[in-house]
Amino acid sequence: MIKQNYHTHTSRCGHAIGSDEEYVQEALAFGLTELGFSDHIFLPNHSQIGIRGDYELLDDYISSIESLKEKYKDRISIHLGFEAEAMPFYFPYYRRLLEEGHIEYLILGNHCEIDKKNNLHFYFSQATKAKDIVRYTNSLVKGIKTGLFKIVAHPDYFMGSYKKWNKTCQICAKKICAAAKKYDVVLEFNFGSVRRGKRLIGEEYRFAYPYDKFWEIAKKYKCKVMIGIDAHSPSDISTLNNDGGYEMCKELGLELTQKITF
């Protein structure tokens, strides 16, 4: 059983529920020794209702988690971070948050991209063509190379709508795993899609991710792998629906990294 989870959202993002303290209480009940909050990053110049909180929520997020750190310091180690996309336009902002000590870590969750006019568009979970997953991969690898991120969330995210694993998928997976290995970034085996259940994608009835063939490649590259609960409600931390994710890890023979050093 895991003792740490660094992928935890808050209601500020608009698609999660529960108070910040309820997540802490659930983590304690489940026996976690570390809990990392990593809500979808608030961006100074963009609003995405129902996807991420507005930038004005930054101070409240920081103060709330810092308060919980102090309140529960003798019972659990709480960390403060964000899940963020590989958007070069925002890399200086990410770096400032880290260097000025506002947050402890960043998770690279590459959900969408930003164009030259600074518009957010194209969600990689909707990738259906080879060129789409190549775009995802190139963007993700660029993010890994910055050194800003400790963990890559659901690196196989591109399989969410992609109908069939093929040579392009294999090449992209190898590029992601090679970069993660070289830059010592942890790949997250994400439980979020497991809890949502299997669905028909192409001719396969499966989870959107994790996708077995990706993780077989990660194992060959000897990448560091960590479970990410990707909690969007307090009950996600201990729900029995996570058992399917644990079983997948076991069947794939993945050696799991338990702890991140900040």
**DSSP letter string, 2-43:** --EE--B--GGGSS--S-HHHHHHHHHHHT-SEEEEEEEPP-
Contact between 133 and 127 under an 8 Å Cβ cutoff? The reply is yes
Q: Is residue 257 part of a domain?
A: no
Contact between 38 and 107 under an 8 Å Cβ cutoff? The reply is yes
Cβ-based neighbour number of residue 174 at 10 Å? 16
Rg (CA), the chain: 17
Q: Is residue 8 part of a domain?
A: yes
Q: Provide the sign of the torsion angle of the four alpha carbons 110, 178, 5, 243, taken in this order.
A: positive
Task: Provide the pLDDT for residue 120.
Answer: 82
Domain containing 236 equals 4-252
Report which secondary-structure segment, H or E, holds 112: strand 112-114
Given 3-state DSSP classes, what are the helix, strand and coil percentages for the chain, each rounded to the nearest 5? Answer: 45, 20, 40
CATH number of the domain residue 227 falls in: 3.20.20.140
Contact between 75 and 86 under an 8 Å Cβ cutoff? The reply is no
* Helix locations, the chain, DSSP H: 20-30, 58-71, 91-99, 130-145, 167-182, 192-196, 212-220, 243-252
Q: Is residue 242 part of a domain?
A: yes
Q: How many domains does the chain have?
A: 1
Q: Is residue 262 part of a domain?
A: no
Q: Is residue 258 part of a domain?
A: no
Q: Which pTM does this prediction carry?
A: 0.96
Q: How far apart are CA 106 and CA 109, in angstroms?
A: 9
Task: Provide the pLDDT for residue 200.
Answer: 96
Task: Provide the pLDDT for residue 223.
Answer: 97
Contact between 257 and 186 under an 8 Å Cβ cutoff? The reply is yes
Q: Is residue 158 part of a domain?
A: yes
pLDDT digits (tens, 9 = 90+) for 33-74: 999 999 999 999 888 899 999 999 999 999 999 999 999 999
Q: Is residue 206 part of a domain?
A: yes
Chunked in runs of 10, what are the mean pLDDT values of the chain (262 residues)?
93 97 97 97 91 96 98 98 96 97 96 83 86 95 98 97 96 98 97 93 95 97 96 91 87 90 84
Q: Is residue 55 part of a domain?
A: yes
